[in-house]
Structure 1
Amino acid sequence: MSSADIGMPLDTATIMSTVLEGILYGFSVLMFIGTIWIFTYKKRMENVNQPVAVVAVLLFLLSTTHMVIEIIRVEDGLVKSRDTFPGGPAAFFADVKQKMYVTKSAVNLMQTLLGDGIVIYRCNVVWKSVRVIILPCMMWCAVAVCGSCKVYYLSQTPTSNAKSLFTDETGRWTAAFITLTFATNLFSSGLLAYRIWTIERRVSTVRTRKGIMPILRVLVDAAILYSVSNCSAIICFARSNNGLYVIGDMINPTISIAFYMVFIRIAINKDTQEFISTVCVGTGETDRGIPLHYPIQPLRTSSTAYKQDDTSS
């Protein structure tokens, strides 16, 4: 495989991925602060939505760890080992069996599993049926297995050639991991969106205020954002292009951003406050679920009552 076939040089790809990941990481940090502020401002500790806080903190820690590892790799490849590593920086970044690269892949796996698990949990809360999430759970387990095997074979790669990421056992597990991640997120998000859409149709003729379409839109936006990233990774892998390294590093902060944007945008919309816990986390409102009807105010009756009160007075 020639260099033209694999796209940009690896040192260039690493610099580009670090810069782009840093930009997205900055956005994710701001959105993390916004998420924590929304769910903790003027609230006692016992009233804080703890599942949201825990998941938000975990995503922040994982994305921060990934960013720190990437910065360390850039410093090692371009500064510390620039003149001592055989082949220079390009050969250094091509060595996928380095501990830092393997650790970075493990962090990516954990964040991917956490992000997909959140979507599957939302499906369980909204559908209130374990049978609906059987297939997504099986796909999630397959993602975990493929991702773990990918990390293992990266650490056992006999050569330091970047082509091993696209070939041999490592390449096969990488392809399976990326494809299953894309399919799991798309399928789970589709189930969630379909359920909310059907509920919206039921209440559309009787509601007296805005429905839950804002929830549907923000969930679809988050799913599209994450799915586009995974689809780009699949295309780069199919073409054995080094752009896969760039897209792969950008996916980590994208997972966090997709998670945070759901909570922030729904919390801002005052008409959907009662649906936050049910659709996004499943706490607080899980006993009632998503209401299938809206109360209709008897406007005429109320007006008549007011007139009677005025007459009697």
Structure 2
Amino acid sequence: MASKSTTGLPLDSANIMSTVLEGILYGFSVLMFIGTIWTFTYKQRIRDINQPSTVVATLLFVLSTVHMIVGIIRLEDGLVKYGNTFHDGPAGFFADVTQQTFVTKNTIITLQTLLGDGVVIYRCYVVWRSVWIIILPCMMWCGVAAFGICMVYVQAPTTNAKNVFGNQTGHWITAFLSLTLATNLLSSGLLAYRIWTIERNVSGAYATKNNMPILRVLVDAALLYSAAFCASLVCFAISNNGFYVLGDLIVPIISIAFYMVFIRVAISKKIHECLSATLC
């Protein structure tokens, strides 16, 4: 099978670095998850809790936790358990994309990405209040799902794929990353534009001081989300092993980006309720 020559870190070093950096970001995402749940539930009755957002936040936490655990297992397998049985040692193990741990991690990345993109598209629908505005993003989301499934399928243990940069896997990964990036940029752009136009037409000090930070948080989250995928796509395009590092960091970054928005929106809602109670 034809494969591209790789550059950058050795694969064993790349996997060690990715696990360490992911652990740091995961710890930060855990704190933000706790903060998110606290803002949703503090002094709230059960029926007043935003249940959809709570479910999404919990799913993001569960997926990132499982991804972290599988990453640690994969690191141990490559360095201790199975690494010496491969021709190139641990580097050969980490290069083998048909390993069950690698397939599992990519499955989680696909699910995390679909969940994140789905939330942004749903927000577009809520803000625009029109099904027509989300037709293209929904079609692109379906494309992301299809490419993600194909990407995971070609890396199954029953296939002959042996290199993530090889032709058998490369075009599916490129399509998945590119379409995910485009879907997020389009959906976030539509969402930000709608909020900006609404706020521009709203008069009063409260709207200016309280709601515009939400727009900034949405933009910051979208930029963080998109920057991670863009960097991964660049590394993959030049066959750099940094792709392994950035690929693992995508999962906690997605969680952090959405926790940012959840916390800010929840705080803004409580401020609005307090002001309304004071003025009434």
**Fold shared by both chains (TM-score > 0.5):** yes
Query: Gaps spanning 5+ residues in structure 2: where?
Result: 274-278
The offset of 1:215, in angstroms, is 1.1
CA distance in 2, matches of 1:137, 1:23: 33
2:90 aligned with 1:93, yes or no?
no
Query: Gaps spanning 5+ residues in structure 1: where?
Result: 275-296, 298-313
Change (3 A) 1:122 1:143: same
The offset of 1:52, in angstroms, is 1.2
CA distance in 1, matches of 2:272, 2:250: 29
**Matches of residues 209-228 of structure 1 in structure 2 within 5 Å?**
209-211=206-208, 212-228=211-227
With 146-155 and 35-44 compared, the bigger mean Cα shift is at 35-44
Which residue in 2 is equivalent to 1:182?
181
Which residue in 2 is equivalent to 1:150?
151
2:200 aligned with 1:207, yes or no?
no
With 36-45 and 104-113 compared, the bigger mean Cα shift is at 36-45
> Identity across aligned pairs (percent)?
65
Q: Report the secondary structure of 2:155's partner residue.
A: helix
Q: Is the 8 A contact 2:161 2:168 kept in 1?
A: no
Q: Deviations over 1:117-162 (max 9, x none)?
A: 00000000000000000000000000000010000001154143x3
CA distance in 1, matches of 2:18, 2:100: 19
CA distance in 2, matches of 1:222, 1:82: 38
With 136-145 and 49-58 compared, the bigger mean Cα shift is at 49-58
CA RMSD of aligned residues (A): 1.9
How many residue pairs get matched?
270
Structure 2 counterpart of 1:26, one-letter code:
G
2:24 aligned with 1:23, yes or no?
yes
Structure 2 counterpart of 1:109, one-letter code:
T
Q: Deviations over 1:254-309 (max 9, x none)?
A: 110001001212333468646xxxxxxxxxxxxxxxxxxxxxx9xxxxxxxxxxxx
Q: Under a length normalisation based on structure 1, what TM-score does the superposition of the two structures give?
A: 0.82
The offset of 1:237, in angstroms, is 1.1
Q: Under a length normalisation based on structure 2, what TM-score does the superposition of the two structures give?
A: 0.91
Which residue in 2 is equivalent to 1:127?
128
Greater C-alpha Rg: 1
CA distance in 2, matches of 1:119, 1:247: 22
Change (3 A) 1:2 1:158: closer
Change (3 A) 1:75 1:33: same
**Matches of residues 47-196 of structure 1 in structure 2 within 5 Å?**
47-155=48-156, 156-160=158-162, 162=163, 165-196=164-195
Q: Is the 8 A contact 2:4 2:239 kept in 1?
A: no
Q: Report the secondary structure of 1:83's partner residue.
A: helix
Structure 2 counterpart of 1:197, one-letter code:
W
CA distance in 1, matches of 2:79, 2:45: 48
Return the structure number with greater helix share: 2
Q: Report the secondary structure of 1:241's partner residue.
A: coil
**Matches of residues 23-42 of structure 1 in structure 2 within 5 Å?**
23-42=24-43
Which residue in 2 is equivalent to 1:305?
none
CA distance in 1, matches of 2:159, 2:108: 19
CA distance in 1, matches of 2:272, 2:171: 45
Q: Deviations over 1:37-59 (max 9, x none)?
A: 11111222222211111111101
